[in-house]
Amino acid sequence: LPAGLGWALVFTPSLGTVGRYFPARRALATGLVVSGASVSGLALGPLVPLLLDTYGWRGALLLLAAVSFNLVAAGALLRPLPIPSESPGPPKDRPGLIRLLRHGPFLRYASAFVLVDAGYYVPFVHGEARAHEVGCDEHRAGLVMAAMAAVDGGGRLAAGWLAARPAAPLLRHLFTWIALTGLTLLLLPLGTTFGGLLALALAYGFCAGALVPLQFAGVAEVVGAGQLVHAIGLMQMFESFGSLLGAPFAGWLRDMTGNYTVSFLAAGAFLLAGSLLILTLPGFFHTSRGAGGKEG
């Protein structure tokens, strides 16, 4: 519990600060920042078992805690910047969180990611079991999961770079990646061999990674940079309900049907439903301010 609280207190203000530092290249900056999670995930995968074998679980936890303490030095380098008020934000006559709870576009945006997260983590949680279901051994099942995690970071960087181009508003980029992630998830049941499942896992990992930086950069498009930190924290609190319920629901569907086909179809449907809510946002059909307008 204390570790989870600590990571929450680090993650939200860090992303909010990056969004404020780089208003004209917010998506690219966010993509670079969140790609670090993919790198660390790949590094810790083989490192943690080695630490456990060498130092035991107590020693491994102490070493991981020592690594985490470097966040204190990194956080000390962050400094607040004055950000002018923006017209797209909610009215200014109520306290910050209450404004957001009465801000219709933000509530639709947060609801979209409740649906997205209900499906997003299903392949990461049940992907290995699905690989075993189609006849993969431990090595091949692990390879499928490692491949999905490896391309995740590339998707985050690619989406941030593409969203920095002025060709389309950021929310359209976000809608596209969510829809592609949902469609790829719908196709995952077609991977009935190791090669087919690996190809679909690579496609899913890339698309799933791509929507992550745009999710956080898109918050500023909806509420303005002045409310960014509050909005990211509140959005993550809402979407945690989708994260908590999605994987168990997929497991229940697997128990009811005997395979993961319906589980992946339902997860893909959640993502596509979330993408439809993005269409209702005010900034979707006109030029994005955060990508290079007055803020930039």
- Is residue 269 scored above 60 in pLDDT? yes
Q: Once rounded to an integer, what is the mean pLDDT over residues 119-140?
A: 92
Burial bucket for residue 42 (CB in 10 Å: 0-12, 13-18, 19+): middle
Tell me the C-alpha to C-alpha distance, in Å, between residue 81 and each of 16, 23, 34. 11, 11, 21
- Which tens digit of pLDDT belongs to each residue from 239-265? 999 999 999 999 999 999 999 999 999
pLDDT, greater one: 80 or 152: 152
pLDDT at 288 over 60: no
Lowest mean pLDDT among 7-16, 243-252, 284-293: 284-293
Based on its alpha-carbon atoms, the radius of gyration of the chain, rounded to whole angstroms, reads 20
Q: Could you tell me the pLDDT band of residue 171, with boundaries at 50, 70 and 90? A: very high
Question: Predicted confidence band at 184 (pLDDT cuts at 50, 70, 90)?
Answer: very high
Rounded percentage of the chain residues whose pLDDT exceeds 90: 46
Average pLDDT estimate for 158-173: 84
Choose the weakest-confidence range: 224-233, 252-261, 263-272: 224-233
| pLDDT for the residue 286 | 65
Q: What is the pLDDT of residues 97-109, one digit of tens each?
A: 888 998 999 999 9
Per mean pLDDT, which range of 130-134, 251-255, 290-294 is the poorest? 290-294
Query: Angle 102-211-180 (CA atoms, 0-180°, nearest 5)?
Result: 110
Dump pLDDT digits (tens) for 80-95: 766 555 445 554 545 5
- Class of the domain covering 1-46+97-280: mainly alpha
Across 161-172, average pLDDT: 82
Token pair, residue 121, equals: 């983590």
pLDDT at 167: 64
Most confident of 42-51, 66-75, 164-173, 242-251: 242-251
Q: Which residue has the higher pLDDT, 87 or 215?
A: 215
Environment class of residue 218 by beta-carbon count within 10 Å: exposed (0-12), middle (13-18) or buried (19+)? Answer: buried
Please tell me the predicted confidence (pLDDT) of residue 150. 85
Residue 7 has pLDDT above 80, yes or no: no
The C-alpha atoms of residue 61 and residue 52 are separated, in whole angstroms, by 9
* Average pLDDT of the residues of the chain: 85
CA quadruple 113, 116, 119, 122: dihedral sign: negative
Q: How confident is the model at residue 295 (pLDDT cuts 50, 70, 90)?
A: very low
pLDDT at 296 over 80: no
